[in-house]
Amino acid sequence: MEILAEIVLQLLLWLAEILLQVLFEALAEFGVRALGAPFKRASATPPWVAALGYLVYGAVVGGLSLWIFPLAYLQTNWARITNLAVTPLAAGLAMSLMGAWRRKQGQDLIRLDRFSYGVLFALSMGLVRFFFADIG
């Protein structure tokens, strides 16, 4: 019974880490949309520049998340490493679903509404949390 409780607890902590990153990514998407609207230009930014920007933006948001939530939810190394693989994919999927919803609503899409940019943002945020979060 103790093993089952530990497994359930680990799954809940994993879910909390995923939800934290998806929440911050959604807030970032809203922020990019709100702050970027006045500065829209006809020429598009090259994809590699946008990717670099989302990596930096994710790292900054990861640092801010540590200020608010300094403790790592996942305490074991195997769970934290697995989290680095799973959570960015889940966040990227969430952002692409949000992008699909926005497309159906007739709204303009930003690059963060795509899977690959969502993964980059979440991976960058996750790496900052992985290396700098306090482990109980």
The full set of domain ranges for the chain reads 2-37+45-132
The model scores a pTM over 0.85 = no
Of 85, 76, 116, which Cα lies nearest the Cα of 18? 85
Determine the pLDDT at residue 6.
86
Determine the pLDDT at residue 39.
41
Could you read off the pLDDT of 70-119 as tens digits, one per residue?
A: 988 888 889 899 999 999 999 999 999 999 999 999 988 888 889 999 99
| CA 63 vs CA 11, 25, 53, 93: distances in Å | 24, 13, 15, 23
Determine the pLDDT at residue 32.
67
Rounded Cα–Cα distance for residues 53 and 124 (Å): 11
